[in-house]
Structure 1
Amino acid sequence: METFNVPTRDQVSADNQAIFDNLKSQVGFVPNLYATYTHSENGLADYLALANRKTTLSGKEKEVINLVVSEVNGCAYCKAAHTAIGKMNGFTEDQILEIRGGEASFDAKLDALAKYVKSAVLNRSKPENSALEAFFEAGYNKENLVDTIILIGDKTISNFLYGSTEIPVDFPAAQELEVTVV
């Protein structure tokens, strides 16, 4: 397998150096996965434009999607990163583990979201009708559905990049689930 390095600031273009500087000032460091996007000159800027787009979803809802997609796709990097981000958004460790399993019994609306996302990803874009119906019954609308699908795609991109490069994870490892999602 091709070995992928994690580009450093001095190995990337001036445009990507500016993005690295911005990330370092906002986040405190440049996550390895973000740095790996710079193997494509426009990859990081394009990805960040997608990841930072306006959405109808709250921070917690976004993390539910990120955690479920990353678990279903088996992405160790994104599970670790979004476990940390999920905690910053107010989820407990136990809630994060439950979400990664595709449920959120502590919140009916987030539970419907988690179940929809799990069903959509497991069934390769064709969620079970009951999951879609429960999504709408929980109070979500068509705009929320489109934003959810865009975020599923966003996280899938990162999952695929990590899966193909297996760069070092620079977040604390996420606890493994006792029961697999699939």
Structure 2
Amino acid sequence: MSNFNVPTREEVSENNQAIFDNLEKGVGFVPNIYAAMAHSKNALASYMQFLGAATSLNNKQKEVVNLAVSELNGCKYCQSAHTATGKMNGFTDDQIIELRKGVASWDSKTNVLAQTAQRIAATNGQIGADSLSDFHAAGYTKENLVDLIVAIGIITVTNLLHNVTEVPIDFPIAVEL
């Protein structure tokens, strides 16, 4: 177990304190993974800007990516956090488990998104022409592909941070697959 502490508001920079305050207002608390980023004077602000940037993917599609990639990367924190936010975005418990496995039996377009997200993350982007063809045949655009890659990058940051630091999970723990 890591001894990487979760800093309190008083232990972080003034800029990070303002972000903590905004998270308290918007989310109701400061998730430990974000608080851990505040050990850096700049990382949390940079991450929040990246996270909040405009994208062609809607919130449900971003949750598909978050669940599929977090499972692949073995991040218990993000599996748990995105199980909770996945439910808030309308996914059922069974759908969330499928998405973590990189599939969506109930919807072919969502299935392609989950598979493509896991394939990109698992192969460092070496997915091949067939996967790209399937992605585009499902109705996704080049813009969606670029935004998918960015979304994979965003969730990978928190996956890696938790896997290295093992900060405590402050969401209901996701079931093991």
2:68/2:117 contact within 8 Å kept: yes
**For residue 27 of structure 2, what is the aligned residue in structure 1?**
27
Runs of at least 5 residues in structure 1 that lack an aligned partner in the other structure: 178-182
Deviations 1:62-103 (A, max 9, x none): 000000110000000000000000000000000000010000
What is the one-letter code of the residue matched to 1:88?
A: M
Deviation, structure 1 residue 130? 2.5
**For residue 88 of structure 1, what is the aligned residue in structure 2?**
88
1:16/1:38 contact within 8 Å kept: yes
Deviation, structure 1 residue 142? 0.3
Name the count of aligned residue pairs. 177
**For residue 173 of structure 1, what is the aligned residue in structure 2?**
173
Identical columns (%): 54
Q: How does 1:122-141 map to 2 (within 5 A)?
A: 122-141=122-141
1:68 aligns with 2:76: no
**For residue 180 of structure 1, what is the aligned residue in structure 2?**
none
1:121/1:127 contact within 8 Å kept: no
Find the residue that maps to 2:106 and give its secondary structure: coil
RMSD over aligned CA atoms reads: 1.0
What is the one-letter code of the residue matched to 1:134?
A: D
Q: How far apart are the structure 2 equivalents of 1:110 and 1:2?
A: 36
1:70/1:79 contact within 8 Å kept: yes
1:106 aligns with 2:100: no
1:120/1:128 contact within 8 Å kept: no
Q: Normalization by structure 2: what TM-score?
A: 0.97
2:2/2:167 contact within 8 Å kept: no
**For residue 8 of structure 1, what is the aligned residue in structure 2?**
8
Q: How far apart are the structure 2 equivalents of 1:40 and 1:119?
A: 31
Find the residue that maps to 2:38 and give its secondary structure: helix
1:32/1:169 contact within 8 Å kept: yes
Deviation, structure 1 residue 115? 0.8
Q: How far apart are the structure 1 equivalents of 2:115 and 2:133?
A: 11
Q: How far apart are the structure 2 equivalents of 1:115 and 1:44?
A: 29
**For residue 57 of structure 2, what is the aligned residue in structure 1?**
57
Q: How far apart are the structure 2 equivalents of 1:73 and 1:170?
A: 19
What is the one-letter code of the residue matched to 1:63?
A: E
